[in-house]
Amino acid sequence: MILCDERFMARAIQLARQAEPQSVSPNPHVGAVLVYDEDPNDVRIIGEGYHKKRGEGHAEVECLRSVRDEDKFLIQHATMYVTLEPCAHVGRTPSCASMLVERGVPRVVVGTTDPNPLVAGKGIDILRSNGIQVLVGCLSLECREVARVFMTNQERHRPFITLKWAQSQDGYMDRQRTEGSPIIFSSPFSAMLVHRERSRHSAILVGARTILLDRARLSNRLWTGNNPAPFVLDPRGESFDVLATYDDAKRWTVVTTKATMDAVDHHTFKVLAVDREEEMLDGLMTHLMKDEKTSLLVEGGSYTLSSFISAGLWDEARIEKAPFDLFEEGIKAPDLSSARKVDSHTIDGRVIDLYRRFSER
Protein backbone atom coordinates (compact mmCIF):
# COMPACT_ATOMS: atom_id res chain seq x y z
CA MET A 1 0.00 0.00 0.00
CA ILE A 2 1.35 3.41 -1.00
CA LEU A 3 1.56 5.84 1.91
CA CYS A 4 1.93 9.60 2.28
CA ASP A 5 5.22 10.46 3.93
CA GLU A 6 4.69 14.15 4.70
CA ARG A 7 8.42 14.78 5.09
CA PHE A 8 8.98 14.27 1.38
CA MET A 9 5.94 16.25 0.25
CA ALA A 10 7.04 19.08 2.55
CA ARG A 11 10.39 19.05 0.78
CA ALA A 12 8.63 19.17 -2.61
CA ILE A 13 6.68 22.22 -1.42
CA GLN A 14 9.91 23.83 -0.25
CA LEU A 15 11.39 23.30 -3.71
CA ALA A 16 8.29 24.72 -5.45
CA ARG A 17 8.65 27.96 -3.50
CA GLN A 18 12.13 28.55 -4.90
CA ALA A 19 10.81 29.63 -8.31
CA GLU A 20 10.44 33.35 -9.00
CA PRO A 21 6.71 34.05 -9.52
CA GLN A 22 7.13 35.98 -12.77
CA SER A 23 9.51 33.36 -14.19
CA VAL A 24 6.93 30.57 -14.09
CA SER A 25 3.78 32.63 -14.75
CA PRO A 26 1.21 31.70 -16.02
CA ASN A 27 2.25 28.20 -14.94
CA PRO A 28 1.99 27.04 -11.32
CA HIS A 29 4.74 26.61 -8.77
CA VAL A 30 5.43 22.86 -8.61
CA GLY A 31 8.07 20.82 -6.81
CA ALA A 32 8.93 17.12 -7.03
CA VAL A 33 11.02 14.68 -5.00
CA LEU A 34 11.97 11.13 -6.01
CA VAL A 35 12.46 8.76 -3.07
CA TYR A 36 13.96 5.27 -3.14
CA ASP A 37 11.88 3.55 -0.47
CA GLU A 38 11.75 -0.17 -1.23
CA ASP A 39 14.42 -0.94 1.37
CA PRO A 40 13.22 0.37 4.76
CA ASN A 41 16.84 0.47 5.90
CA ASP A 42 17.92 2.65 2.98
CA VAL A 43 15.13 5.18 2.33
CA ARG A 44 16.64 8.22 0.64
CA ILE A 45 15.99 11.02 -1.83
CA ILE A 46 17.59 10.29 -5.19
CA GLY A 47 16.18 13.22 -7.18
CA GLU A 48 14.73 16.70 -6.69
CA GLY A 49 13.39 19.37 -9.01
CA TYR A 50 11.02 22.27 -9.45
CA HIS A 51 9.56 24.23 -12.35
CA LYS A 52 11.93 27.18 -12.76
CA LYS A 53 10.75 28.99 -15.87
CA ARG A 54 7.85 29.01 -18.28
CA GLY A 55 8.63 26.88 -21.33
CA GLU A 56 11.33 24.90 -19.54
CA GLY A 57 11.18 21.53 -17.81
CA HIS A 58 8.37 20.83 -15.38
CA ALA A 59 9.16 19.71 -11.84
CA GLU A 60 8.92 16.00 -12.68
CA VAL A 61 11.32 16.38 -15.60
CA GLU A 62 13.84 18.33 -13.53
CA CYS A 63 13.53 15.80 -10.72
CA LEU A 64 14.35 12.80 -12.93
CA ARG A 65 17.08 14.77 -14.68
CA SER A 66 18.79 15.33 -11.32
CA VAL A 67 19.17 11.61 -10.55
CA ARG A 68 22.84 10.61 -10.58
CA ASP A 69 23.93 8.03 -13.14
CA GLU A 70 24.74 5.48 -10.44
CA ASP A 71 21.20 5.83 -9.02
CA LYS A 72 19.22 5.69 -12.27
CA PHE A 73 18.46 1.99 -11.82
CA LEU A 74 16.58 2.93 -8.63
CA ILE A 75 14.00 5.01 -10.53
CA GLN A 76 11.95 1.86 -11.15
CA HIS A 77 11.92 1.19 -7.40
CA ALA A 78 11.08 4.71 -6.20
CA THR A 79 8.14 6.93 -5.30
CA MET A 80 7.73 10.40 -6.76
CA TYR A 81 6.20 13.09 -4.57
CA VAL A 82 4.84 15.96 -6.65
CA THR A 83 2.85 18.94 -5.35
CA LEU A 84 0.49 19.14 -8.34
CA GLU A 85 -1.00 16.46 -10.58
CA PRO A 86 1.35 15.68 -13.50
CA CYS A 87 0.19 17.31 -16.72
CA ALA A 88 -1.57 15.17 -19.31
CA HIS A 89 -1.32 17.44 -22.35
CA VAL A 90 1.50 18.29 -24.72
CA GLY A 91 2.21 22.04 -24.81
CA ARG A 92 5.54 23.82 -24.61
CA THR A 93 6.81 20.65 -22.91
CA PRO A 94 5.81 16.96 -23.21
CA SER A 95 3.21 15.30 -20.99
CA CYS A 96 4.71 14.63 -17.56
CA ALA A 97 2.28 11.80 -16.84
CA SER A 98 3.36 9.95 -19.98
CA MET A 99 7.01 10.64 -19.18
CA LEU A 100 6.63 9.03 -15.74
CA VAL A 101 5.13 5.96 -17.40
CA GLU A 102 8.01 5.76 -19.88
CA ARG A 103 10.63 6.09 -17.14
CA GLY A 104 9.02 3.30 -15.12
CA VAL A 105 8.26 5.20 -11.91
CA PRO A 106 6.06 2.71 -10.02
CA ARG A 107 4.46 4.98 -7.42
CA VAL A 108 3.37 8.64 -7.41
CA VAL A 109 2.10 10.70 -4.47
CA VAL A 110 0.20 13.80 -5.64
CA GLY A 111 -0.41 16.77 -3.38
CA THR A 112 -3.46 18.15 -5.18
CA THR A 113 -5.29 17.75 -8.46
CA ASP A 114 -4.91 20.26 -11.29
CA PRO A 115 -8.07 22.36 -11.94
CA ASN A 116 -6.91 23.18 -15.48
CA PRO A 117 -9.48 21.56 -17.84
CA LEU A 118 -6.59 20.30 -19.98
CA VAL A 119 -5.49 18.17 -17.01
CA ALA A 120 -8.21 17.89 -14.32
CA GLY A 121 -7.70 14.24 -13.39
CA LYS A 122 -6.41 13.14 -16.77
CA GLY A 123 -2.82 12.97 -15.55
CA ILE A 124 -3.81 10.68 -12.69
CA ASP A 125 -5.88 8.54 -15.10
CA ILE A 126 -2.84 8.08 -17.38
CA LEU A 127 -0.72 6.95 -14.44
CA ARG A 128 -3.28 4.52 -13.05
CA SER A 129 -4.22 3.06 -16.43
CA ASN A 130 -0.56 2.16 -16.89
CA GLY A 131 -0.30 0.34 -13.58
CA ILE A 132 1.28 3.11 -11.52
CA GLN A 133 0.11 3.32 -7.92
CA VAL A 134 -1.21 6.82 -7.18
CA LEU A 135 -2.09 8.49 -3.88
CA VAL A 136 -3.78 11.90 -4.03
CA GLY A 137 -4.13 14.48 -1.26
CA CYS A 138 -0.86 14.41 0.67
CA LEU A 139 -0.57 17.86 2.32
CA SER A 140 -3.22 19.04 -0.13
CA LEU A 141 -3.91 22.41 1.53
CA GLU A 142 -0.22 23.27 1.62
CA CYS A 143 0.18 22.21 -2.01
CA ARG A 144 -2.75 24.40 -3.05
CA GLU A 145 -1.22 27.27 -1.10
CA VAL A 146 2.11 27.13 -2.93
CA ALA A 147 0.18 27.21 -6.24
CA ARG A 148 -2.44 29.72 -5.04
CA VAL A 149 -2.02 32.15 -7.95
CA PHE A 150 -2.58 29.38 -10.48
CA MET A 151 -5.49 27.95 -8.49
CA THR A 152 -7.19 31.35 -8.43
CA ASN A 153 -6.66 31.81 -12.18
CA GLN A 154 -8.18 28.43 -12.98
CA GLU A 155 -11.01 28.29 -10.45
CA ARG A 156 -12.13 31.94 -10.32
CA HIS A 157 -11.08 32.92 -13.85
CA ARG A 158 -9.34 36.07 -12.69
CA PRO A 159 -5.91 37.13 -11.41
CA PHE A 160 -4.80 36.55 -7.84
CA ILE A 161 -5.39 39.97 -6.24
CA THR A 162 -3.32 41.42 -3.42
CA LEU A 163 -4.35 44.64 -1.71
CA LYS A 164 -1.57 46.68 -0.14
CA TRP A 165 -1.58 49.87 1.85
CA ALA A 166 0.14 51.66 4.74
CA GLN A 167 -1.64 53.58 7.48
CA SER A 168 -1.25 55.25 10.85
CA GLN A 169 -2.05 53.47 14.11
CA ASP A 170 -5.38 55.29 14.25
CA GLY A 171 -6.39 54.08 10.78
CA TYR A 172 -5.61 56.93 8.36
CA MET A 173 -3.90 56.49 4.99
CA ASP A 174 -3.23 60.18 4.37
CA ARG A 175 -4.32 63.65 5.34
CA GLN A 176 -6.85 65.50 3.22
CA ARG A 177 -4.80 67.33 0.58
CA THR A 178 -4.90 68.64 -2.96
CA GLU A 179 -1.13 68.98 -3.28
CA GLY A 180 2.07 68.31 -1.38
CA SER A 181 3.90 65.13 -0.49
CA PRO A 182 2.16 62.13 1.05
CA ILE A 183 2.84 61.06 4.62
CA ILE A 184 5.64 58.50 4.75
CA PHE A 185 4.52 55.48 6.76
CA SER A 186 7.21 53.01 5.66
CA SER A 187 10.80 52.71 6.84
CA PRO A 188 13.50 52.32 4.16
CA PHE A 189 13.56 48.57 4.79
CA SER A 190 9.79 48.06 4.73
CA ALA A 191 9.66 50.18 1.53
CA MET A 192 12.16 47.78 -0.04
CA LEU A 193 9.88 44.88 0.90
CA VAL A 194 7.01 46.64 -0.88
CA HIS A 195 9.13 46.70 -4.03
CA ARG A 196 9.87 43.01 -3.57
CA GLU A 197 6.11 42.43 -3.47
CA ARG A 198 5.73 44.43 -6.69
CA SER A 199 8.32 42.24 -8.40
CA ARG A 200 6.23 39.17 -7.57
CA HIS A 201 3.14 40.47 -9.38
CA SER A 202 2.56 40.72 -13.11
CA ALA A 203 0.38 43.85 -12.86
CA ILE A 204 -0.07 46.76 -10.44
CA LEU A 205 -2.93 49.27 -10.14
CA VAL A 206 -3.72 52.59 -8.49
CA GLY A 207 -6.49 55.14 -8.79
CA ALA A 208 -6.31 58.49 -10.57
CA ARG A 209 -5.76 60.46 -7.34
CA THR A 210 -2.53 58.57 -6.62
CA ILE A 211 -1.20 59.62 -10.03
CA LEU A 212 -2.41 63.21 -9.67
CA LEU A 213 -1.02 63.88 -6.19
CA ASP A 214 1.96 61.54 -5.91
CA ARG A 215 3.15 61.17 -9.52
CA ALA A 216 3.43 57.45 -8.72
CA ARG A 217 5.70 55.42 -11.01
CA LEU A 218 4.85 51.96 -9.62
CA SER A 219 8.28 50.46 -10.34
CA ASN A 220 10.22 48.01 -8.18
CA ARG A 221 13.44 50.04 -8.40
CA LEU A 222 14.47 48.95 -4.88
CA TRP A 223 14.35 45.27 -5.82
CA THR A 224 15.49 43.03 -8.66
CA GLY A 225 13.25 41.59 -11.37
CA ASN A 226 10.81 42.90 -13.92
CA ASN A 227 8.51 45.82 -13.18
CA PRO A 228 4.82 44.88 -13.09
CA ALA A 229 2.59 46.25 -15.86
CA PRO A 230 1.08 49.51 -14.49
CA PHE A 231 -2.69 50.23 -14.60
CA VAL A 232 -4.74 53.25 -13.52
CA LEU A 233 -8.43 53.12 -12.66
CA ASP A 234 -9.67 56.46 -13.97
CA PRO A 235 -13.30 56.80 -15.12
CA ARG A 236 -13.09 60.58 -15.64
CA GLY A 237 -9.67 60.97 -17.23
CA GLU A 238 -8.16 62.91 -14.32
CA SER A 239 -4.73 61.30 -14.68
CA PHE A 240 -4.33 61.73 -18.44
CA ASP A 241 -2.28 64.95 -18.40
CA VAL A 242 0.15 63.61 -15.80
CA LEU A 243 0.60 60.28 -17.57
CA ALA A 244 1.37 62.17 -20.79
CA THR A 245 4.54 63.50 -19.12
CA TYR A 246 5.86 60.03 -18.23
CA ASP A 247 8.76 58.84 -20.35
CA ASP A 248 7.37 55.30 -20.09
CA ALA A 249 3.74 56.26 -20.79
CA LYS A 250 3.45 53.53 -23.43
CA ARG A 251 3.75 50.92 -20.67
CA TRP A 252 0.72 52.26 -18.81
CA THR A 253 -2.88 51.17 -19.29
CA VAL A 254 -5.76 53.41 -18.22
CA VAL A 255 -9.04 51.71 -17.37
CA THR A 256 -11.81 54.17 -18.15
CA THR A 257 -15.10 54.60 -20.00
CA LYS A 258 -15.70 54.96 -23.71
CA ALA A 259 -17.42 58.30 -23.10
CA THR A 260 -14.29 59.65 -21.41
CA MET A 261 -12.07 58.48 -24.25
CA ASP A 262 -14.36 60.03 -26.86
CA ALA A 263 -13.36 63.45 -25.49
CA VAL A 264 -9.62 62.77 -25.86
CA ASP A 265 -7.88 63.65 -29.13
CA HIS A 266 -4.52 62.04 -28.48
CA HIS A 267 -2.84 59.86 -25.88
CA THR A 268 0.41 57.94 -25.56
CA PHE A 269 -0.74 55.38 -23.00
CA LYS A 270 -2.79 52.23 -23.61
CA VAL A 271 -6.52 52.29 -22.95
CA LEU A 272 -9.04 49.75 -21.72
CA ALA A 273 -12.44 51.40 -22.22
CA VAL A 274 -15.79 49.97 -21.13
CA ASP A 275 -19.33 51.22 -21.62
CA ARG A 276 -20.08 52.11 -18.00
CA GLU A 277 -18.03 52.87 -14.90
CA GLU A 278 -19.71 49.95 -13.11
CA GLU A 279 -18.16 47.57 -15.66
CA MET A 280 -14.56 48.70 -15.15
CA LEU A 281 -13.46 46.07 -12.64
CA ASP A 282 -15.00 43.14 -14.50
CA GLY A 283 -13.55 44.46 -17.76
CA LEU A 284 -10.16 44.71 -16.11
CA MET A 285 -10.34 41.11 -14.85
CA THR A 286 -11.14 39.84 -18.35
CA HIS A 287 -8.35 41.90 -19.90
CA LEU A 288 -5.73 40.76 -17.39
CA MET A 289 -6.52 37.08 -17.85
CA LYS A 290 -6.51 37.41 -21.64
CA ASP A 291 -3.09 39.09 -21.41
CA GLU A 292 -1.77 36.39 -19.02
CA LYS A 293 -1.39 38.84 -16.17
CA THR A 294 -1.93 36.24 -13.47
CA SER A 295 -1.53 38.43 -10.38
CA LEU A 296 -2.52 42.01 -9.57
CA LEU A 297 -1.22 44.24 -6.78
CA VAL A 298 -3.66 47.04 -5.87
CA GLU A 299 -1.90 49.87 -4.02
CA GLY A 300 -4.59 52.47 -3.66
CA GLY A 301 -5.77 54.90 -2.72
CA SER A 302 -8.55 54.28 -0.26
CA TYR A 303 -11.43 54.64 -2.74
CA THR A 304 -9.82 52.27 -5.24
CA LEU A 305 -9.00 49.69 -2.57
CA SER A 306 -12.53 49.89 -1.16
CA SER A 307 -13.95 49.34 -4.65
CA PHE A 308 -12.13 46.02 -4.90
CA ILE A 309 -13.18 45.02 -1.38
CA SER A 310 -16.84 45.87 -2.05
CA ALA A 311 -16.76 43.86 -5.28
CA GLY A 312 -15.24 40.87 -3.50
CA LEU A 313 -12.22 41.07 -5.78
CA TRP A 314 -9.30 40.31 -3.51
CA ASP A 315 -7.47 37.31 -2.10
CA GLU A 316 -4.79 38.74 0.16
CA ALA A 317 -4.21 42.06 1.90
CA ARG A 318 -0.94 43.37 3.34
CA ILE A 319 -1.38 46.29 5.71
CA GLU A 320 1.54 48.20 7.19
CA LYS A 321 0.81 50.17 10.37
CA ALA A 322 3.24 52.93 11.27
CA PRO A 323 4.06 53.59 14.96
CA PHE A 324 2.28 56.95 15.14
CA ASP A 325 -1.21 58.49 15.01
CA LEU A 326 -2.41 61.30 12.75
CA PHE A 327 -5.00 62.62 15.25
CA GLU A 328 -6.88 64.37 12.48
CA GLU A 329 -9.75 63.97 10.09
CA GLY A 330 -7.84 62.46 7.19
CA ILE A 331 -8.49 59.73 4.65
CA LYS A 332 -9.60 56.59 6.42
CA ALA A 333 -8.09 53.25 5.46
CA PRO A 334 -10.47 50.56 4.16
CA ASP A 335 -12.17 48.30 6.68
CA LEU A 336 -11.07 44.66 6.79
CA SER A 337 -12.31 43.92 10.30
CA SER A 338 -14.43 41.01 9.05
CA ALA A 339 -11.55 39.38 7.16
CA ARG A 340 -9.28 36.66 8.51
CA LYS A 341 -5.87 37.75 9.78
CA VAL A 342 -3.38 34.95 9.09
CA ASP A 343 -0.10 36.57 10.08
CA SER A 344 1.34 39.59 11.87
CA HIS A 345 4.94 40.61 12.38
CA THR A 346 6.92 43.76 13.14
CA ILE A 347 9.63 45.34 10.96
CA ASP A 348 11.38 48.55 12.03
CA GLY A 349 8.54 49.31 14.43
CA ARG A 350 5.93 48.85 11.69
CA VAL A 351 3.32 46.13 12.19
CA ILE A 352 2.68 44.17 8.98
CA ASP A 353 -0.68 42.36 9.03
CA LEU A 354 -1.59 39.76 6.42
CA TYR A 355 -5.24 39.01 5.69
CA ARG A 356 -6.75 36.32 3.48
CA ARG A 357 -10.17 36.14 1.91
CA PHE A 358 -11.80 32.85 0.96
CA SER A 359 -14.78 33.11 -1.35
CA GLU A 360 -16.34 31.89 -4.56
CA ARG A 361 -15.60 34.98 -6.64
CATH number of the domain that residue 166 is part of: 3.40.430.10
Using 50, 70 and 90 to split pLDDT, how confident is the model at 180?
confident
Tell me which of 266 and 151 has the higher pLDDT. 151
β-bridge pairing 107-112 and 78-84: parallel
Average pLDDT, stretch 299-312? 95
Is the pLDDT at 360 greater than 60, yes or no?
A: no
Say what the pLDDT of residue 209 is. Answer: 94
Residues contributing to the annotated binding site for Zn(2+) = 58, 87, 96
Is the pLDDT at 280 greater than 80, yes or no?
A: yes
Say what the pLDDT of residue 361 is. Answer: 46
Average pLDDT, stretch 267-277? 94
pLDDT (tens digit per residue) in 202-223: 999 999 999 999 888 899 888 8
Average pLDDT, stretch 29-40? 96
How far from chain centre, in Å, is Cα 59? 18
168 and 107 in a single domain? The answer is no
Average pLDDT, stretch 33-52? 96
Share of the chain above pLDDT 90, in %: 81
Say what the pLDDT of residue 188 is. Answer: 92
Using 50, 70 and 90 to split pLDDT, how confident is the model at 1?
low
Is the pLDDT at 91 greater than 80, yes or no?
A: no
Q: CA 280, CA 271: separation in Å to the nearest integer?
A: 12
- Which residue numbers are catalytic? 60
**In-domain check, residue 85:** yes
Say what the pLDDT of residue 337 is. Answer: 80
Mean pLDDT, the chain, rounded, equals 93
Domain of 292 in residue numbering reads as 157-356
Average pLDDT, stretch 327-347? 90
pLDDT (tens digit per residue) in 119-149: 888 999 999 999 999 999 999 999 999 999 9
**In-domain check, residue 209:** yes
Cα torsion angle, 188, 190, 194, 199, sign: positive
Say what the pLDDT of residue 300 is. Answer: 83
201 and 330 in a single domain? The answer is yes
- φ/ψ (deg, to 5) at 187: -85, 165
Q: How many structural domains are present in the chain?
A: 2
Say what the pLDDT of residue 162 is. Answer: 98
75 and 214 in a single domain? The answer is no
**In-domain check, residue 361:** no
Taking the model in full, what pTM does it have? 0.93
Average pLDDT, stretch 38-67? 95
**In-domain check, residue 120:** yes
Is the pLDDT at 178 greater than 90, yes or no?
A: no
Average pLDDT, stretch 84-102? 87
Residues contributing to the annotated binding site = 58, 87, 96, 166, 198, 210, 214, 218, 221, 299, 301-307
Say what the pLDDT of residue 92 is. Answer: 67
239 and 116 in a single domain? The answer is no
Residues contributing to the annotated binding site for NADP(+) = 166, 210, 214, 221, 301-307
Residues contributing to the annotated binding site for substrate = 198, 218, 299
20 and 149 in a single domain? The answer is yes
65 and 192 in a single domain? The answer is no
Q: What is the CATH number of the domain that holds 35?
A: 3.40.140.10
Residue where a domain stops, chosen among 129, 153, 177: 153
Average pLDDT, stretch 171-189? 88
Share of the chain above pLDDT 70, in %: 98
